[in-house]
A and B are shown apart, each in its own frame.
Chain A
Amino acid sequence: MSNRTIPAYDETLSRVREVLGELLGDGPKSAGEDQPLTEALGDRYDSLAALECVSRVENAFGIEVDFVAHDVRYSFATLRRIAEFVRGELEDRAVLENRA
């Protein structure tokens, strides 16, 4: 098995709040896990902001998002989905590394 550790959900969620907060201010810190970000952040979470969020999450967790293969609009609609998406990508990567 890979030695890489998959962070716990709460830890991942906390880090997602922090990363998005650097870009969007306090909104992501106070938003509910399942609250749509378009609702929590209003016009600030438009498609350009979402694109920037994807980039920041990629950099923060060392993953790569495929805008076509991944359903980014779904995955990046709420904080919970982002955190679960990140954990899924990290798990996939760990499996691949183990195979290698």
Chain B
Amino acid sequence: MSALTQAQPVPAALSQSRAAGTGEPDLWCTYAAMRTLAWLGRTAEAEDAEATARYLRSRRNSDGGYAWSAGMPSDAWATFYCTQALADLGRPLPEPDGTAQWLRGTWTADGTGAAYAMAPGQAPDVWATHFSTRSTVRICGDGVPDRARLLAWLGALQRPDGGLSWSPDSRTSDVRACHYGAAAWFALNGVAPVDPPWDVAALTRWLCEQQTPEGGFRFSPEADVPCMWATYRATAALNILGASPSRPVEPWIRELRGASGAFVRWQGYEVEDVWASFCAVGALQAVGAPTADVADAVVARISALRCAGGGYTYREPEHAADALSTAAAVLADGTEPPGARESSGSPEPSVRADRITWLESCQLPNEGGLMYMPARGSEIRCTLWGLTAGAFAGEAAQPARRRIAEWVRGIQNPDGGFGFWEGRGSELLSTAAAVGVVRHLGAAVPELLDAAALRAFVSRCLGPDECTAALPGTEPTLRQGLQAQRIRHALGEGSPHAVTSLLDRHRVRGGGWANTGARLPDLLSTYEAVATADLYGLPLDAEHLRRFTDRVHSDGGTAWSPLAPGSGGPLADALGSLLRRRVDGALRALPDLALS
């Protein structure tokens, strides 16, 4: 039994729990499924490939980039996964010049060179730089704007211990950063040969030091246990650098095959998910081990994870719960107050308690936050939604809460802000969510976080009048302004005048608030408007709010805006339910939630 098994046993009943999911494909899982089939030379066996290609193309925005889900802004993460998966399917990119142009718009200098940011206006990080360098060079056939400056930026990632970090100012070495840095260099080297910009001996030595006696790899010396994710990234990085692990890794990987022959993430975990097979096949290939003997089982398993209408999720679609949907289901159910859970010995635990237990199972070793889907990295928004839904509410959960606090403290970026997860560039949404997490934990922001750096980040985003906020070079919006003001409040410097001014500027005459201008109100903006006003103790115009909630609510659920069709799904239903309870007086204040 591996250390990971011992550290994180998962109750078998949870895999069939009443946690909630969308039943829809997930972009990362779709990419992982296609990449795994491509590694195995079996992409031609993907069922209904045209539907999957249609799903991927539907993420393309008019600016040329791709988004995590329809309607969201483009980012490098989604652009890489969509374009690479389309390429693996042998499908042409729609208007690749537009995608290349969008990628060029994320090119950013930071004083140590220049690299790519996840979205325009953000600081560059190694996640985005890896995604966009590969997308630009290999998919779009374009060149990076300044190869020499990019190599300098990549070189500045190396820490004194030999490992690579997320950005030149970050202080944590991580095998994921090592792989992303190495893969970005490898893409450049494929265009024109160039030496790696690091002390390669020190880098490979640091990577080899992350292998544990069991044979798997850990993220860094701070990580508790080895995992398949770290093992793939480490072995792939070593392979790119022309090196190998010090000890055999193949037996450790092969031990983690489940009943079907596909891979599990650790022994005792019954779900053979797309994540485990992606990492296992990638790692086997990286160390030169054969994969033919596992290919049939992996291909069959991936086929079972296909969603109707195209795309894939991480396990059987009917069981593919996620943290946001599950938290939303709890929040939409206003029949029990948070904390009113039955004891664990109850013979018939309620659906609500079951869902909260599932949310708590999304906290895995190595990263203290909650994941979106099992085995992904911990994410700020999911952690905020999970805590708000009641996860880790009891006294017995103090150790778990301390882990979350340490995780939040550890992922604050050098510029003072936060990104979606560890190492990603800062933006206001995630920074406000991080502050919301700290507030939930009952901690004071200045005690847990670097308050001076946080203040500096918000100041860079706020306009001179304190009433507008945006990342540098982007248009200010209501939600960014409200997020900045919620952070200001946590720093003890909130301005009710600035909040009132923002709300007045975006108040829609007929009801609700608009993110831009004062024309089309939307659910997210209206929710954040009321939640921020509640935080500041500003009075609520209930009739103004009711006009909006009446328009977007129907028996089928809550729509994202008066223009959007029907229900917006579980997240919209949760926000709509909370807003209606607020306007009816059942809630005195809205919980601090942010989504996009």
Contacts and interface: CB of A to CB of B under 8 A. Distances in A.
B563 A67 contact: yes
B548 interface: yes
A73 B520 contact: no
Contacts of B520: 51, 67
A16 to B, nearest CB: 17
A68 B551 contact: yes
B510 interface: yes
Interface in A37-73: 43, 46-48, 50-51, 54, 66-69, 71-73
Interface in A2-52: 43, 46-48, 50-51
B565 A73 contact: yes
A68 B58 contact: no
Nearest to A58: B519
Interface in A66-87: 66-69, 71-73
A51 B563 CA distance: 7
B562 A73 contact: yes
A51 B70 CA distance: 16
Given A50-B563, A51-B563, A72-B562, A43 B58 contact: yes
B547 A68 contact: yes
Given A43-B58, A51-B520, A68 B511 contact: yes
Q: Which of A47, A69, A72, A73 counts the most B-chain CB atoms under 10 A from its CB?
A: A47
Using C-beta atoms within 8 Å of the partner chain, give the interface range for chain A. Answer: 10 to 19
A67 B565 contact: no
Q: Which of A43, A67, A73 counts the most B-chain CB atoms under 10 A from its CB?
A: A67
A72 B563 contact: yes
B510 A47 contact: no
Nearest to A50: B563
Contacts of B551: 68
A43 B61 CA distance: 12
Interface in B520-569: 520-521, 547-548, 551, 560-565
Contacts of B548: 68
A86 to B, nearest CB: 17
A66 B510 contact: yes
Interface string B57-78: 0100000000000110000000
Contacts of A50: 563
A72 B565 CA distance: 11
B564 A68 contact: no
A73 B563 CA distance: 5
A47 B561 contact: yes
A3 B458 CA distance: 55
B512 interface: yes
A51 B511 CA distance: 17
Given A43-B58, A51-B520, A68 B512 contact: yes
A66 B563 CA distance: 11
Contacts of B565: 47, 73
B508 A68 contact: yes
Given A67-B521, A68-B548, A47 B563 contact: yes
B571 to A, nearest CB: 16
Nearest to B61: A48
B477 to A, nearest CB: 15
Contact of B510 (A51, A54, A69, A73): A69
B509 A66 contact: yes
Given A43-B58, A51-B520, A68 B563 contact: no
Nearest to B566: A73
A75 B479 CA distance: 28
Contacts of A67: 508, 510, 519-521, 561-563
Nearest to A43: B58
Contacts of B521: 67-68
A51 B560 CA distance: 13
A73 B547 CA distance: 16
Interface in B302-332: none
Contacts of A43: 58
Contacts of A47: 71, 560-561, 563-565
Nearest to B560: A47
A97 B235 CA distance: 76
Interface string B502-518: 00000011111000000
Nearest to B550: A68
A50 B565 CA distance: 11
A67 B509 CA distance: 9
Nearest to B551: A68
Contacts of B561: 47, 67
Q: Which of B58, B521, B563 counts the most A-chain CB atoms under 10 A from its CB?
A: B563
Contacts of B508: 67-68
Contacts of A73: 562-565
A5 to B, nearest CB: 28
B517 to A, nearest CB: 11
5 contacts: A51-B563, A67-B521, A68-B508, A68-B547, A73-B564
Given A47-B561, A47-B565, A68-B510, 11 more contacts: A51-B520, A66-B510, A67-B519, A68-B508, A68-B521, A68-B548, A69-B547, A71-B562, A72-B563, A73-B563, A73-B564
Interface of A: 43, 46-48, 50-51, 54, 66-69, 71-73
Q: Closest 5 A-B residue pairs measured CB to CB?
A: A68-B510, A68-B511, A69-B510, A66-B510, A47-B563
